[in-house]
Structure 1
Amino acid sequence: MAPTTTRRSNALIAACIVSTIALVALDIGTKTWAEGALSTERTGERPEVCAADDDGYIRYQRARRPGLVVIEDVFELEYAENCGAAFGLLRNAPTGVRTTIFGVAATAATLVLLWLFIQGRGGPWFAWSVPFVVSGALGNLIDRIRYGYVVDFIHWHWRDAFDYPTFNVADIAITVGVVLLLIDGFRREEPAKVDEKAAPKAKTADAGAGEQREAAGE
């Protein structure tokens, strides 16, 4: 029999909404700081949004300032404009196409996760994941609607040997949310596996008891 679910309380729903708004505000606030501290207005005519130069590099809408070194050769804060998704996915697609695709994906993910949350689906790990995934999707979507690209500023690397793509708070939120979703899935599968293993044992025990009753009857 499929497990029943109970709609989550209004208090939990309100907590989810407040947490989502807070994370979106944190993302937008840090991006605004990065724009002011790590970049400046470009002088002269701005290039087309996400247009590439002759070498294939994106021509930024804002001029970059020197980055802030947090840990030498490891961790820096530097301004970047991401025209695609993770690792630059779809960065060469037209701005309108990118905004539409990412907008539909973010809206669909938000509605589905919120509906599942309200209906009481998933366990505690799933409940924790929803504000992270939804806020991350909305935070980056707001950038795409405003600019046509996403502002990134967190840069991890190891000298010249390893260079991880620059990211932002929204990306961190999505990553945390996905990890929590995976944990929730694994934790809910474990009891099912235990039940499957216990079922044959129960049948064997029942069969043995039946044989004993038949022998006693004889």
Structure 2
Amino acid sequence: MKLSRRTIFISITILITVLLDQVSKIMVRKYVDPKSVSDIIGSILTLHNVENTGAFLGMGSDLNPTLKLILLLILPVVVLGFVLRYVFKDKSLDNWSLFAFASIIGGGIANVYDRFAYGSVTDFLHLDFGGSLRTGIFNMADLSVTTGMIILVFASFKKKKEKEA
């Protein structure tokens, strides 16, 4: 069976996303003391080593084990499966949308793997531009998911504009 360029593009994007995330987390777990804070770019970008047992910003970390299993492992796997199926079935997706969806899928796979393998997700980057302009502590998988979502928003505006023209 010959793989299409599209399938190879999607697969490589997912693989690179997962690898970058997992390698960065391995390095953080090995070389950064837990709960430490190190400046990378002044106090704007800092490096941490935090284990997040919940989801976004630790939400759900207090759930009972059964709900955690359902909401943080089973449900994400099901959703990722549906998104992956959609990406392979919808031949009308442009390259930017394919890249965005593959980044989201790769980031999701990487974080689900951590929850399965370690019981938590290692987060290590924090942006603080002062005041309320700051992020929670995040990782490369989170960055991939967020970047993918931003690209999808722009791609949808572009498609809408093209339809109107």
Q: TM-score, normalised by structure 2?
A: 0.86
The 8 Å contact of residues 68 and 76 in structure 1, kept in 2 or not, is answered as yes
Specify the alignment match of 1:183 in structure 2. Answer: 154
Specify the alignment match of 1:18 in structure 2. Answer: 12
- Identity across matched positions, percent: 19
The 8 Å contact of residues 77 and 112 in structure 2, kept in 1 or not, is answered as no
After TM superposition, give the deviation of residue 158 of structure 1 in Å: 4.1
Equivalent of 1:141 in 104, 112, 133:
112
Note the 1:1-218 alignment, pairs <5 A: 10-39=4-33, 64=34, 66-119=36-89, 120-158=91-129, 161-162=131-132, 163-194=134-165
Q: Which amino acid aligns with 2:79?
A: A
Tell which has more relative contact order, 1 or 2 (C-alpha 8 A, sep 6+).
2
Deviations 1:116-171 (A, max 9, x none): 22221422321111220001101110111112211100012246x44521000000
Cα distance in 2 for partners of 1:14, 1:123 equals 15
Specify the alignment match of 1:212 in structure 2. Answer: none
Cα distance in 2 for partners of 1:136, 1:37 equals 22
How many residues are paired up? 161
State the SS of the aligned residue for 1:69: strand
Q: CA RMSD in A?
A: 2.0
The 8 Å contact of residues 95 and 148 in structure 1, kept in 2 or not, is answered as no
Gaps of 5+ in 2: none
Cα distance in 1 for partners of 2:116, 2:104 equals 18
The 8 Å contact of residues 144 and 150 in structure 1, kept in 2 or not, is answered as yes
Change (3 A) 1:77 1:114: same
Q: Which has the greater radius of gyration?
A: 1
